[in-house]
Chains A and B, each alone.
Chain A
Amino acid sequence: MRHLLSINDIDKDFAITILDTAHEMARVSEGAVKKLPTLRGKTVVNLFAEDSTRTRISFEAAAKRLSADVINFTAKGSSISKGESLKDTAQTLQALGADAVVIRHPASGAAHQLARGKWISGTVINAGDGTHEHPSQALLDAFTIRKHLRGGKGDLSGVEVAIVGDILHSRVARSNVLLLTKLGAKVTLVAPPTLIPPQAQAWPVTISYDFNSVLPHMDAIIMLRIQQERMSDLYFPSEREYSSLFGIDTERLALTKPHSILMHPGPMNRGLEISAEAADSPQSVVVEQVANGVSIRMAILYLFIAGSQESSNE
Chain B
Amino acid sequence: MSESILIKGASIVGGDVKDVLIVDGVIAEISTSITSPEAVVISAKDLVLLPGFVDLHTHLREPGRENSETIATGSLAAARGGYVAVSAMANTLPVADTAAIVEQVSSIGKSVGLVDVFPIGAVTKGLAGEELADLASMAHSKARVRVFSDDGNCVSDPLLMRRALEYVKQFDGVIAQHAQDPRLTEGAQMNEGVIASTLGLKGWPAVAEESIIARDILLANTVGSKLHICHVTTKGGVEIIRWAKAQGMKVTAEVTPHHLLLTDVTAESYDPIFKVNPPLRTADDVEALRAALADGTIDIIGTDHAPHPVESKECEWQSAAFGMVGLETAFSILYSTLIKSGRISWARAAEVMSSAPAAIANYENHGRPISVGEPANLTLVNPAGVMVVDRAALASKSKNTPFHGMEFAGTVVATIFNGAITHKVGL
Contact = CB atoms under 8 A, between A and B. Distances in A.
Given A85-B311, A199-B193, A200-B194, A113 B270 contact: yes
B66 to A, nearest CB: 21
Nearest to B198: A174
B197 A197 contact: yes
Contacts of A203: 194, 197-198
Contacts of A198: 192-194, 196-197, 203, 205
Contacts of A108: 199-201, 270, 317-318
A203 B200 CA distance: 14
Contacts of A202: 194
A18 to B, nearest CB: 22
Contacts of B271: 113
B316 interface: yes
Interface in A160-188: 171, 174
A255 interface: no
Given A109-B270, A198-B192, A199-B197, A85 B318 contact: no
Interface string A128-143: 0111110000000000
B319 interface: yes
Contacts of A105: 316
Nearest to A171: B200
Given A85-B311, A85-B315, A107-B318, A112 B197 contact: no
A80 to B, nearest CB: 6
B191 to A, nearest CB: 10
Interface residues of A, number: 27
Given A113-B270, A198-B192, A199-B193, A130 B315 contact: no
Contacts, number: 72
B16 interface: no
A110 B316 CA distance: 6
A86 B270 contact: no
Given A198-B193, A202-B194, A130 B319 contact: no
A202 B199 CA distance: 14
Given A198-B197, A199-B197, A112 B270 contact: yes
Interface string B169-204: 000000000000000000000001110111111010
Interface string A115-129: 011000000000001
B194 A113 contact: no
A81 to B, nearest CB: 10
Interface string B257-271: 000000000000111
A79 interface: yes
B314 interface: yes
A86 B194 contact: no
Q: Which of B196, B205, B269, B316 has the largest number of chain A CB atoms within 10 A?
A: B316
B200 A133 contact: yes
A106 to B, nearest CB: 8
A234 to B, nearest CB: 10
Contact of B317 (A109, A174, A199): A109
Contact of A80 (B198, B199, B203, B316): B316
Contacts of B315: 79, 85-87, 113
B135 to A, nearest CB: 36
Contacts of A80: 316, 319
Contact of B314 (A87, A109, A110, A129): A87
Contacts of A171: 200
A200 B197 contact: yes
Interface string B112-133: 0000000000000000000000
Contacts of A200: 194, 197
Nearest to A200: B197
Interface string A88-123: 000000000000000001011110110011000000
Contacts of A129: 200
Interface string B309-325: 00100111111000000
A283 to B, nearest CB: 30
Interface in A256-293: none
Interface in A202-217: 202-203
A200 B314 CA distance: 30
> What 7 A-B pairs come out closest when comparing CB atoms?
A109-B270, A132-B200, A197-B197, A107-B316, A131-B200, A108-B200, A199-B194
29 contacts: A79-B315, A79-B316, A80-B316, A80-B319, A85-B314, A86-B316, A87-B314, A107-B317, A108-B200, A108-B201, A108-B317, A109-B201, A109-B316, A109-B317, A110-B316, A112-B269, A113-B271, A113-B315, A129-B200, A130-B201, A131-B200, A132-B200, A133-B200, A171-B200, A174-B198, A197-B198, A198-B192, A199-B192, A203-B197
